[in-house]
Structure 1
Amino acid sequence: MTVTTLVILVIIVMLVMLALRMPVAFALGLSGALGLFALRGDAFATRTLGSVPFAETATFSLTIIPMFILMGMFAVKARIAEQVYKVAAHAFRNFPGGLGVATVMACAGFAAVSGSSIGTAATMSRLSVGEMQKHGYHTSMATATVAVAGTLGVLIPPSVILVLYAIMTRESVAKVLAAGIIPGILSALAYSLYIIIASRSSRTKVQSRELEGALVAAGGGGAAPAQAAPAPPAENETRWRDLPIRGVVRVGILFFIVLGGMYSGIFTPTESAAIGALAAAIMLIAEMYKEGFKATVNALTEALKETAGTTSMVFAIIVGSAILSVFFVAARVPHMLTEAVISAGWNPHVTMGLLLLALIPLGMALESISILVITVPLLYPVATELGFDGIWLAILIVKLIEIGMVTPPVGINCFVVAGASGVRVTEIFKGVLPFVVVELILVVILFFVPQLSLWLPSLVSF
């Protein structure tokens, strides 16, 4: 059996196991182990399986991942998302599509402290979908807004996926996190612009239908009056002093501690994550103490349990992907892929664009961390060989992963929103399609204007 045939068989085995709903970590690790046994024999495979799990996880830099996850869980239990959403809804109440814009901005703010796309989508769907429906938003639009805006959790720092990319590629964690700031802001603005345009269009159609109905009522003929659809949110009479501004202040404090401490040189990236988690714990206690000692302890305990579960899942995937990566390296897959790409003689941008586009169908079948750990060991060497910046590549991979998180058949964010809101997932997928177009336009812009991703990292000295 040739090496190429063996690699194809290993990939097929991995995909079959994933299709059979085997946990991702086991699917990656078992397929890699089978490949190593077939390629190098029992002795090499046994040594690898004995050493890789410890070698890949006994790394101090990985401690940043549970710290960021812990900070996000504390922020959720401290009700920061709810507070930010109330403030955003009031701030954008006079905009066309004001609640939709408020949802996007609240997701962006909460993403800045949670670092989790799924956590952001799950939390915000409970807060905003019902409110948007109450104010006349179509169900597909309301749920799609939350699903897509929730993806900002993997782009705006502190992003666990960006941290994992930096660790896998040996890029600077601080620079990779900085690279996500401008694309994250652009994404939030682009989503908001689409919502405003769609809301204006919807309002115009409603007005024309009402006019037509009035003509019919006056005996002018024509169709029957249509039912009025999405109306803008009613004027909110809540005063600013009555709003939970403390939520916005807390987001600012956590963002300043993590990024300010990191980029000022006061803390290392790992230390900033730990200090951020401590600050979030203090905020949780400050928020919950009025409800009693027992409620506070329960909130802290739940946050710790959820952090342990999520961290275990991430580290298991790291181990599984490391075993598969050892097989790929032993089979010289990155080298063969690089040689094949270079020998094809295509324009580097065309080549890189085609390789990146392959992430979209992957995103339709796999969840985000799986895509990252499978593709980065293959794409990163090719990109650097072709002269592309590894930090620029990180942002493009994450943006394409975002698209995968909302596209069928998996679209994990859509399923999270469906579970939290009780809306059929097919309804959510319908509303997501225009947002996917917006995402693809953003990817093209980031691809051809790399300075949008690289300017801030260029100011970071470590």
Structure 2
Amino acid sequence: MSAQGIGLAGFVALLALIALRAPIGLALMIVGGGGLTLIHGWDTMLFVVSQAPVSALSNYTLSTLPMFLFMGVLAVRIGMADAMFTAANTFVGHRPGGLSMASILSCAGFGAVCGTSVATVSTMARIAVPPMLKLGYNSRLAGGSVAAGATLGILIPPSLPLIVYAIITETSIGRLFAAGFLPGLIATLFYMATVWVWLRFRPDYAPLGTRVSWRGRVASLRNIWGIAALFTLVMGGIFVGFFTPTEGAAIGAAGAMLVGVISRRLSMRVFREAIAETVQLSTMILFIVIGISFYEYFLQASRIPNAIVDFVTWMDLSPTGLILLLLAFFVLMGCVLDSIAILFIFTPVVFPLVQQAGFDPVWFGIIMVMVVEFGLLTPPIGMNVFLLSRVTPQISIIDAFAGVMPFVVADILRIALFIVFPGLVLFLPNLLFN
């Protein structure tokens, strides 16, 4: 069998292992090591085994992962999400669909310090869905707004998928964080507009809430000082150049502990649990990073990326056609793989195409992460939808999937906007870092 044939067989084997629930890192190592052995023999494979882990883990950017993860885990455990939802509800809760809009706003605000969609949906589902159902909201609207709103956590910095993309492509984390800010804000507005349009057709889905006085609204802002301070300190410091993303991650982790101490919600038990969860998540991701280093060696040996570049060149696609082809592929993969797996497995394959076509790697990273969001909402995996249904059993899985479909339409329109107007993505990083 040719090297490219082994490469294709390895790709199929990788998907099969992941479908069988094998850990992603282990699956990458098995396929990468086995493929290298078939192509170049044992000596090459053993050389890669001795070099790949050290080379993969010596990336300085990796040091941001555990610290940003710790900041997000601690934010969940000291109750920042509750305060964010309460504050958002006082401002928009009295409007049609106000609680759904408040859920979206609180997901965006909480995502600004959490950085992961899974933590956001599991936390906000417990906080926001019961009040909506109690007030008489339709379960589709209640579940859809939380499941979709939680995807904002992987776009608004600090974002775990953006860090993963930066590590794989060696793109500036600071520029990626800056590029994600405006699209995250626009995504929040699109989701809120989706609720408004939905209720124009189905006003019975959401009764009006109680109006809160301006004094009460201002008072609610006192409880979100921790989120505001952390985001301003970390992202503001990175954007204006006071410190690097790695230093910002350390400051964010220390700041989260300080907020917990001041608010008297950080006990030794909470601290130990946060450390344990951070170690578990960090170890899992670093194991995947080692696995992807094996897989990259295998890809280079099989010359699959070169073959893909040659094939796309032969197709003579326009830049727009290439982007649409890649996005359609990512949407398809999102139906069978989770978002982190897509980033780790396919970024090394498609990034040479992106470079050859002359696309800005920062712009493409934001577009790729937004498309990866689809996999969090669409069947058969729909991680956010399944988590929502598990946390809030009052909402069936069918209603939950039906509830996110209007937001998926909003996502398609939003991605089209950023493809037509790439300056919306690149304006802030160009302003701050050039």
TM-score bin, normalised by smaller chain: over 0.9
Find out whether 1:134 has 2:110 as its counterpart. Answer: no
1:455 matched residue in structure 2: 427
Write the deviation string for residues 226-252 of structure 1: whole angstroms up to 9, x where unpaired. Answer: xxx531224457952795423422211
1:320 matched residue in structure 2: 291
**Among residues 248, 264, 267, which one is paired with 1:296 in the alignment?**
267
- Structure 2 counterpart of 1:395, one-letter code: I
2:235 matched residue in structure 1: 259
Query: Pairwise mapping of residues 192-207 of structure 1 onto structure 2 (< 5 A)?
Result: 192-203=192-203, 206=204
Corresponding residue SS for 2:377: coil
Any stretches of 5+ residues in structure 2 without a counterpart? none
Aligned-pair CA distance for 1:434: 1.3
2:398 matched residue in structure 1: 426
Question: Could you tell me the TM-score, scaled by structure 2's length?
Answer: 0.96
2:244 matched residue in structure 1: 268
Q: Structure 1 stretch 43-52 or stretch 247-256: which is displaced more?
A: 247-256
Corresponding residue SS for 1:180: helix
Aligned-pair CA distance for 1:441: 1.0
1:62 matched residue in structure 2: 62
1:216 matched residue in structure 2: none
2: distance between equivalents of 1:192 and 1:447? 21
Asked if the contact 2:377/2:401 (under 8 Å) is kept, the reply is: yes
1: distance between equivalents of 2:385 and 2:371? 16
Write the deviation string for residues 292-337 of structure 1: whole angstroms up to 9, x where unpaired. Answer: xxx7111111111111111111111111122111110121222221
Asked if the contact 2:155/2:181 (under 8 Å) is kept, the reply is: yes
Aligned-pair CA distance for 1:84: 0.8
- Structure 2 counterpart of 1:124, one-letter code: M
2:336 matched residue in structure 1: 365
Asked if the contact 2:90/2:217 (under 8 Å) is kept, the reply is: no
- Change in 2 beyond 3 A, CA 1:39/1:313: same
1: distance between equivalents of 2:160 and 2:387? 18
Query: Pairwise mapping of residues 341-356 of structure 1 onto structure 2 (< 5 A)?
Result: 341-356=312-327
Write the deviation string for residues 163-196 of structure 1: whole angstroms up to 9, x where unpaired. Answer: 1211211111100111101110111000000101
Asked if the contact 1:29/1:320 (under 8 Å) is kept, the reply is: yes
1: distance between equivalents of 2:136 and 2:213? 19
2: distance between equivalents of 1:9 and 1:383? 24
Aligned-pair CA distance for 1:59: 2.4
1:47 matched residue in structure 2: 47
**Among residues 245, 256, 273, which one is paired with 2:221 in the alignment?**
245
Q: Structure 1 stretch 136-145 or stretch 237-246: which is displaced more?
A: 237-246
Aligned-pair CA distance for 1:364: 1.2
Asked if the contact 2:362/2:426 (under 8 Å) is kept, the reply is: yes
Write the deviation string for residues 172-225 of structure 1: whole angstroms up to 9, x where unpaired. Answer: 11001111011101110000001012123222xx4xxxxxxxxxxxxxxxxxxx
2:152 matched residue in structure 1: 152
1: distance between equivalents of 2:222 and 2:270? 19
1:214 matched residue in structure 2: none
Asked if the contact 2:97/2:206 (under 8 Å) is kept, the reply is: no
- Count of aligned pairs: 433
1: distance between equivalents of 2:11 and 2:219? 53
**Among residues 360, 374, 382, which one is paired with 2:353 in the alignment?**
382
Superposition RMSD in Å: 1.6
Corresponding residue SS for 1:460: helix
1:407 matched residue in structure 2: 378
Corresponding residue SS for 2:264: helix
2: distance between equivalents of 1:4 and 1:332? 6
Find out whether 1:440 has 2:412 as its counterpart. Answer: yes
Write the deviation string for residues 392-417 of structure 1: whole angstroms up to 9, x where unpaired. Answer: 10011100111111111101111111
2: distance between equivalents of 1:316 and 1:435? 34
1:331 matched residue in structure 2: 302
Corresponding residue SS for 1:126: helix
2:116 matched residue in structure 1: 116
Find out whether 1:233 has 2:213 as its counterpart. Answer: no
For the pair shown, which has the larger CA radius of gyration, 1 or 2?
A: 1
- Change in 2 beyond 3 A, CA 1:59/1:337: same
- Deviating beyond 6 angstroms after TM superposition, the runs of 4 or more aligned structure 1 residues are none
- Structure 1 counterpart of 2:77, one-letter code: K
Q: Structure 1 stretch 59-68 or stretch 237-246: which is displaced more?
A: 237-246
Asked if the contact 2:96/2:207 (under 8 Å) is kept, the reply is: no
Asked if the contact 1:136/1:232 (under 8 Å) is kept, the reply is: no
- Change in 2 beyond 3 A, CA 1:363/1:337: same
- Structure 2 counterpart of 1:425, one-letter code: I
Query: Pairwise mapping of residues 160-175 of structure 1 onto structure 2 (< 5 A)?
Result: 160-175=160-175
- Structure 2 counterpart of 1:139, one-letter code: S
Percent of paired sites with the same residue:
33
1: distance between equivalents of 2:217 and 2:380? 45
Find out whether 1:340 has 2:311 as its counterpart. Answer: yes
Aligned-pair CA distance for 1:258: 1.1
- Structure 1 counterpart of 2:92, one-letter code: F
Any stretches of 5+ residues in structure 1 without a counterpart? 207-228, 290-294
Question: Could you tell me the TM-score, scaled by structure 1's length?
Answer: 0.91
Write the deviation string for residues 275-299 of structure 1: whole angstroms up to 9, x where unpaired. Answer: 011010111122235xxxxx71111
